[in-house]
Structure formats: structure tokens, C-alpha cells
Amino acid sequence: MEYTWNFTSVFAYWNVLAIGLLGTVKLFIICTVLGLGGGLIMGMLRYSKSRWVSYPAMLYVEVFRNTPVLVQIIWFFFALPVLTGIEVSPFLAAILGITLNTIAFSSEVFRGGIQSIEREQWEAGKAIGMSYAQAMRRVILPQALKRMLPPLTSRGIEVFKMSTLASIVAYPEMLQQAKLIASYEFNPIEAYTVVALIFFVVLLPLVQLTYMLERRFGKSDA
């Protein structure tokens, strides 16, 4: 019953974990940048007045919001190669799944943010001779971004956590590396505890940041 914890067997493999952390961070950066960038574009398409643009965008968002990320990653990994004949690496499958999912979720944040700006702002932009694109870029988005900052930060945190799913297609991120260590050293307790703690330590400051942003930008227009 009394279990002696032995963390040295995990720290002996610190380089294995470091590779995992690198893999996780790589996934996080690529998926966040592409996901939020794509989300902005998708959000604007969703907001478009032309039905030929807004309906397909809506279909995309609903499909990716209403299916689990894991199903998406596995679909890209196992099913897409059959369909296209192109080999899909674990890295690419994870990026595709997480990014496309993030685009769908963040596009709703962007759309909500853009819609929350009063109509008068558009009219004022028009009145001083701005085109639609100019008003969007110089009047609407700067104001909307401030309101969207807290939910977008939460999206980023979500992406960081989602990156663990890449372990299912054996991409060497942190969890996958911990699995490796656990199978070598028979120390699942320590290996998984360390990984959980690393995630906690990395993400806790980010979560605190979200709370701070929410207090500052949440409702007011400070």
C-alpha cells in the first residue's frame, strides 16, 4: 500500500521530456497562429452579406464545432491518405485537426466581437469616406479585438491542452514522451505526475492572465 515515490527515474530522462516539450510548443505555436488567423478570416466570411459566402462558412464552422477533435485528427491521419493518396505524417494530422478546429471556434469569437460593435461605428467610418475594408481594419477590428482578447486567450489555452491528442497518432509531444518513459522505467505514477505538473505550471499564469484581461476588458471599453 505504501508507495515510495521516486522522481529520479523521470528526471534521468529530462532530455526525452525536453523533446516532448519542444514538440508541444511547436504544435501550440503553429496551431494558434494558423487557427486564430484563419478564424479571423472565417469570422469575416461568416459575417458576409452574401449568402454564397456566409452559408458555406457556417457549414464549415458547424461541422468542426460539432465533431470531437480526436475524430478529426484520426480522420486526417487514417482516412485522408486513402482519399488523396498523400501520406499524412502524425505532425501534419495533428496540425490539421487542431488548427481546423481552432479556426471554427475562434471564428465565432471574431464574429461575435465584430457584431458587438455598434452600427454607428460603421456609419461613421462610411461618412468620412472609408471603404468597407478600411472601416473594418481601422475602426471596427481595433475596438472588437479588445473585447475578444479574453475569449481568444482561453482558446490559446485550449489549444495547448489539445496538443496532447497528438500522442494518439504517436507524435512526440509531452504526453507521448511520458508514455515512453513510463514503459521503459515502469514508473507511470511519476512520469504522468510530472507531465501534469508541467502543464499546470505552464498554463496557470496564462489562466491568471485571462482572468485579468476579463476584469479589464470584459464588459467595459477601457
Interacting residues with other proteins (CB under 8 A) = 1, 3, 62-63, 66-72, 74-75, 78-79, 82-83, 157, 161-165, 167-168, 175, 178-179, 182, 188-189, 192-193, 195-196, 199-200, 203-204, 207
Provide the 10 A C-beta neighbour count for residue 118. Answer: 10
Q: Do residues 153 and 32 touch, judged by C-beta distance below 8 A?
A: no
Q: How far is the CB of 108 from other proteins (least distance, A)?
A: 12
Nearer to other proteins, 41 or 170 (CB): 170
Nearer to other proteins, 12 or 206 (CB): 206
Nearer to other proteins, 74 or 145 (CB): 74
**Three cell numbers, residue 171:** 507524435
Q: How far is the CB of 191 from other proteins (least distance, A)?
A: 8
Nearer to other proteins, 152 or 178 (CB): 178
Sign of torsion, CA 145 146 150 151? negative
Q: Do residues 114 and 44 touch, judged by C-beta distance below 8 A?
A: yes
Nearer to other proteins, 64 or 135 (CB): 64
Q: How far is the CB of 183 from other proteins (least distance, A)?
A: 10
Q: How far is the CB of 140 from other proteins (least distance, A)?
A: 19
Nearer to other proteins, 136 or 175 (CB): 175
Q: How far is the CB of 127 from other proteins (least distance, A)?
A: 27
**Three cell numbers, residue 104:** 471554427
CA 171, CA 135: separation in Å to the nearest integer? 43
b vs e for 90-114, b when ≥16 Cβ sit within 10 Å of the residue's Cβ?
Answer: bbbbbbbbbbbbbbbbbbbbbbebb
Q: How far is the CB of 91 from other proteins (least distance, A)?
A: 18
- What DSSP character marks residue 12? T
Question: What is the DSSP annotation of 90-127?
Answer: HHHHHHHHHHHHHHHHHHHHHHHHHHTS-HHHHHHHHH
